[in-house]
Structure 1
Amino acid sequence: MRMHDHPTIHYPDYVWPEGKRCAVVISLDLDAESPFLWISRGQDINHLGEIEQRRYGPRQGLKRITDLLAEYGIQGSFYVPGVVAETYPELLPHLVAGGHEIAHHGYYHERIEALPPAQAEDYLGQAQDLFRAQTGLTGLGHRAPSWEMTPDFLSAMERRGISYDSSLMGFDHPYHVGNLVQVPVQWMVDDALYFRYTNSARDKTHPANPGAVLESWIEEFEGMREYGGLFMLTIHDWISGRPQRLRLLRKLIEHMRRDPTVWWARADEVAAWHASSINSERFRVPAHSINTHFPI
């Protein structure tokens, strides 16, 4: 047997809908001020710089992004922390009315792996109750804050009827982790990696040159098109809602729209395609496949 015949390291090509060679999803993590509030929990907040910067998102950035998507007829996938939906109760209904997908993104933008499993699941339940009350929708998707995941939380999502998750990156197209569809993300095409800057100790450098980022993202898209993968762009309301980044996003969309074989879809549509297609059994990994074979 040749090495690459082994089923855990050799997979067939992914199959997209007929006539399509790759997929593009424009996703937005509508964090607003939630990460700042989570990090600052239990502290007296007497400085306004970062929290006001983040509030730019729901005040101005979100509308500018949705207007741009509407201009091109694109329906996006919006991952919203519960506390943001609670603070801005008009957001979820507005997104649904615009044909966009809404999905869960924690309640307080909490780190799942840092919480007791029962508490993490309770936050998910609270978010589900709130989304149902505001929109009537259930069985939505999920994306973990900071893109981290645990086996316990995968099980919790199954129990609570989450339709898919978008937090991991074990393939560059959809796959199953256990019984849950995974619509993968990638750091390379996340705007926060290049433009997140709040003048705090967490900032290691200044924001990147948008021209260089555009070139990088176009190259990543071209690579995904070549290999038949999923180009999952992740942006944030308070980052890419600024004029400079909106211009970058417009140029990227214009480039990707030139190819008619690109499938423009929402993440829930991609998840549904995967679950009902031949890919479903071809791309499945265990949910608890953590390697424990290491020296103590």
Structure 2
Amino acid sequence: MNSVRYTWPEGKKCAVVLSFDFDGITPYLWRSRHSQSKGISEKEQRRFGPRQGIYRILELLEKWEIKGSFYIPGVTAEEYPQAVEAIAKCGHEIGLHGYLHERVDELTRDKIEETLIKGKAAIEHIVGQRKMGYRSPSWEMTEDTFEVIKKYEVLYDSSLMGADHPYWINQMVELPVQWLLDDAIFYRYVGGGASVNPPANPATVIDTWKKEFEGIKKYGGLFMLTMHPWLSGRGSRILALESLISYLKMDSEIWWATAQEVAAYHQSLEVEGKNACLTEMIDR
């Protein structure tokens, strides 16, 4: 039996989205909220992202004329409004990512709603009111979270891994992620016994991502790459990322898009009645 392929615009074979979780120090603050550690090493390591990494990434995307998708916790927006302004000024998509990078599976429904409201307000204070997509911190989701983001007319979710192309879940467009396409599993190293393996060689990471792209393209999927400015904003990793972009740019069968553009496209297919068999397969 032949597998069913997802239909992309203009006969393209796959879509590529470069996404960035602009966390800053928020995951550390959430994780250590009940402790009083005197250490500042991890916080300083993470501050590299909003101080330097984000601007290197923006420069790289501008050079290659790519629009990315940036998911920003409210606290990061409050602490680094100039970086959020720079992202918006360059025309990139900005999405919701909690307030303090809270894990939603550890929150009540009321708290989830509170973090969404506060995170949205912090971003809109800088860039103005707008409809946004959502990526849950730590890629965890709950039924309550889906109900909350639907209530506030969030455009889509990008936190789950139930397919390798866009699909519907809980009446919400889902733009799937996956761990193999997240830079954190390769580069995150904070020392102090919290990390086991040293950071991977960027050349090895890029080779892994190229192979995953080849597989995704073969099956007509979505290549959703997730990066963090405090990790991928480092010198050798920026150079490696540029080598990947250069490689992908040679492929004329790619649809380059933001996550919001992919979500809007998937919704248009629903209206037109296309990819119905794919929707049915996922819902079952």
Same fold (TM over 0.5): yes
Is 1:17 equivalent to 2:4 in the alignment?
A: no
Is 1:106 equivalent to 2:106 in the alignment?
A: no
- SS in structure 1 of the partner of residue 130 of structure 2: coil
Is 1:190 equivalent to 2:177 in the alignment?
A: no
> Deviation per CA, 1:89-122, whole angstroms, max 9, x where unpaired?
2222221110100001111011000111211111
- SS in structure 1 of the partner of residue 255 of structure 2: strand
- SS in structure 1 of the partner of residue 197 of structure 2: coil
- SS in structure 1 of the partner of residue 11 of structure 2: coil
The match for 1:81 among 70, 73, 82 is: 73
| Partner residue in 1 for 2:113 | 121
Go from structure 1 to structure 2 and tell me whether the alpha carbon gap of 1:252 and 1:236 turns closer, same or farther (over 3 Å shift).
Answer: same
Match runs of 1:11-160 below 5 Å: 12-160=4-152
State the TM-score, normalizing by the size of structure 1: 0.90
State the TM-score, normalizing by the size of structure 2: 0.94
Give yes or no for contact 1:151–1:288 (8 Å, CA) kept in 2. Answer: no
Is 1:165 equivalent to 2:122 in the alignment?
A: no
The residue type paired with residue 112 of structure 1 is V
Go from structure 1 to structure 2 and tell me whether the alpha carbon gap of 1:288 and 1:275 turns closer, same or farther (over 3 Å shift).
Answer: closer
Give yes or no for contact 1:178–1:285 (8 Å, CA) kept in 2. Answer: no
Bigger shift: residues 131-140 or 180-189: 131-140
- SS in structure 2 of the partner of residue 85 of structure 1: helix
Go from structure 1 to structure 2 and tell me whether the alpha carbon gap of 1:285 and 1:162 turns closer, same or farther (over 3 Å shift).
Answer: farther
Shift of 1:48: 1.3
CA distance in 1 between partners of 2:89 and 2:140 (Å): 30
RMSD over equivalenced CA pairs, Å: 1.9
Match runs of 1:147-296 below 5 Å: 147-277=139-269, 278-279=273-274, 281-284=276-279
The residue type paired with residue 41 of structure 2 is G
CA distance in 1 between partners of 2:128 and 2:3 (Å): 39
The answer for unaligned runs of 5 or more in structure 1 is: 5-9, 290-296
Give yes or no for contact 1:11–1:283 (8 Å, CA) kept in 2. Answer: no
Shift of 1:169: 0.9
Give yes or no for contact 1:154–1:287 (8 Å, CA) kept in 2. Answer: no
Which has the larger share of helix?
2
Bigger shift: residues 89-98 or 243-252: 89-98
Give yes or no for contact 1:176–1:283 (8 Å, CA) kept in 2. Answer: no
- SS in structure 1 of the partner of residue 10 of structure 2: coil
